[in-house]
Amino acid sequence: MKAFVSQGQITKVVFGSGTRSRLADEVDALGCRRALVLCAPGQVAQAAEVFDLLGTRAVAVFAEAAPHTPVEVSEKAVEYARSLRADCLIAVGGGSTIGLGKAIAARTGLPQLGLPTTYAGSEMTPILGETEGRGKTTRRLPEVLLKTVVYDVELTLTYPPAASGVSGLNAMAHAVEALYAQHQDPVAFLMAGESLDALAASLPVIAERPDDLPARAGALYGAWLAGSCLGMVGMALHHKVCHVLGGTFGLPHAETHAVVLPHAVGHNAPAAPEAMARITRALPGPDAATSLFEFAGRLGAPTSLRELGMPESGIEEAAELVVRDGYWNPRPVEKSAVRALLTTAWAGDRPVASPASESVAPSTSGATHV
């Protein structure tokens, strides 16, 4: 048995169908009385229902959460929270809304509760990504970790099937990179494998029957595990590539993860045989990269960066940015390999699965990508 360090989580999790009815008790348990409910403009109806469930414990709804957590929205929300003397935040939504709650928490110290409605997993991580102008920064701040997460499967029923598929693949990307993370945490490995099993079983059912409650429960369970892995261990090449593509070309978050994952796995395969074996246990096939590519196709997810709006001329710049900052990856990351990976992903071609027998040492650059 290898020695290890395991980073446990302190977030309380309540999981089930109809669990939003328990939210008021969870607010009481934190000793809070004046909750500010957060949501994106398209989710006002869900937030209003949560507001009503809270009775006198809720003071207002702030419905301006936006992708990539723009600093100006967060500062406006902070002022609003202060003017209302809010004593806690309740995020009803996906990663954008939970990100807004984290940004407010980072500036005010207010505790946050979350009711996730997508599979992005941000609710289980201490990671805060923010944008100012065209620049995006990402930090790990233990103080923004949510106090309580109430997973209510019913809140995900309205998430459209196409968006659910790519969001589920976004969750799978967290689990996949946890399997070969630098800090080999056996608990994270177990959770990541279980997450892949749950998502592999549930996402194709959701694509056919979006209102299938057991499948929705399976996907949310898998997303919880994947988000927990993202919070516990550092990510690698796949997340770095997606971060660069999102920040530089404004590509949509979950769709970018869906397209890039098989190609990043193809690159890392020779250096991570145990991870590859676990992926193919969840998704049987000739190799992990091909399995993931075909699975995304079954879900009807986009398969090329071209269809997401990335210009072909951007491949060189992206490859440069991906290798510019050092970060840990199980296999060395050379610019020519990244360029080749991006070219294949841009065109939507099948991933190139490197032979498992190739002997490789990890990249030694130190920091891991969040």
Which residues here bind ligand NAD, judged by CB under 6 A?
Answer: 40, 42-43, 67-68, 93-97, 99, 117-118, 120-122, 125, 127, 129, 155-156, 158-159, 163, 167, 230, 253-254
- Is the CB of residue 293 less than 8 Å from the CB of residue 353? no
Closest CB to ligand NAD among residues 250, 286: 250
The dihedral of CA 216, 222, 226, 231: what is its sign?
positive
Residue 42 neighbours by CB under 8 Å, 6+ apart: none
Measured from the CB of residue 243, what is the shortest distance to ligand NAD in angstroms?
A: 8
Within the chain, how many helices (H) and strands (E) appear? 13, 8
> What is the C-alpha separation between 69 and 120, in angstroms, rounded?
14
Which is nearer to ligand NAD, 167 or 363 (by Cβ)? 167
Choose between 167 and 195: whose C-beta lies nearer to ligand NAD: 167
Between 118 and 182, name the residue whose CB sits nearer to ligand NAD.
118
Beta bridge partners of 32: none
Q: C-beta of 116: minimal distance to ligand NAD in Å?
A: 8
Comparison of 223 and 288: residue with beta carbon closer to ligand NAD: 223
Q: What is the largest CA-CA distance in the chain?
A: 63
- Cβ at position 323, least distance to ligand NAD in Å: 21
**Nearer to ligand NAD (CB atom), residue 217 or residue 337:** 217
Task: Read off the tokens for 79.
Answer: 């002022």
**Sheet architecture: strand order including 12-16:** 12-16, 148-152, 112-116, 88-93, 35-38, 58-62
Q: How far apart are CA 119 and CA 301, in angstroms?
A: 15
| Cβ-based nearer residue to ligand NAD, 21 or 83 | 21
Query: Residue 146 is encoded by which pair of tokens?
Result: 């949510």
Minimal distance in Å, beta carbon 226 to ligand NAD? 9
Return the structure tokens found at 331.
């296999």
Instruction: State in angstroms the smallest separation of the CB of 175 from ligand NAD.
Output: 13
Structure tokens at 129: 């990504």
Cβ neighbours around 150 below 10 Å, total: 26
Q: How far is the CB of 271 from ligand NAD (least distance, A)?
A: 25
Query: CB 280 → ligand NAD: shortest distance, Å?
Result: 25
- Start-to-end Cα distance in the chain: 27
Nearer to ligand NAD, 69 or 280 (CB): 69
Nearer Cβ to ligand NAD (67/362): 67
According to DSSP, the residues that pair with 148 across neighbouring strands are 12, 113
What's the rounded Cα separation, in Å, for the pair 47 and 28?
Answer: 19
At 152, phi and psi to the nearest 5? -115, 110
Shortest Å distance, C-beta 63 to ligand NAD? 10
Q: Which amino acid is at 331?
A: R
Check if the beta carbon of residue 89 is closer than 8 Å to that of residue 58: no
Residue whose entry in the numeric block shows the structure tokens 């009503």: 52
CB-based closest residue to ligand NAD: 95
* Minimum separation from the CB atom of position 95 to ligand NAD (A): 2
